[in-house]
Amino acid sequence: MNEQKRKQSVYTLLVEVGRKAGDGLPDTATGAALMCYASGVDEAEAVRETVAILKQADMAPLDVSGYGTLEERLAEGHDISDDERDLMQRAADENAVIVAQMTPFYQD
């Protein structure tokens, strides 16, 4: 069978997580937002992989917002730093999910 390998892209995802025992979040946090770069043949695959990895890390993903590929973000006028581009390239090179930033949420 002649299967053609589909090209992987890197997608920028913002994942909201709730609390779960062993999640590594600060004790007083109510959850967090994680900025992730994930490789996949499409955004749906990148989301599935990211959710699976976060669950393996004892996190509780609640919601995922997709911001597209580097090319899509540039077309929308996003300003993307060299550090962010490096993390995207790392996600592509390693066929991985990279958690670039974590912002804990706290109750007011």
CA max distance for the chain = 58
* pLDDT value of residue 89: 96
* pLDDT value of residue 2: 40
Sequential pLDDT tens for the chain (108 residues): 444 567 889 999 999 999 999 999 999 999 999 999 999 999 999 999 999 999 999 999 999 999 999 999 999 999 999 999 999 999 999 999 999 999 999 987
* Residue ranges of domains in the chain: 9-106
Q: Which positions ≥6 away from 52 have C-beta within 8 Å?
A: none
* pLDDT value of residue 108: 75
Which H or E run contains 82? Answer: helix 82-94
Burial letters for 49-85: b for 16+ Cβ neighbours within 10 Å, e otherwise? bbbebbeeeebbbeebebebbbeebeeeeeeeeeebe
Tokens read off for 102: 């974590």
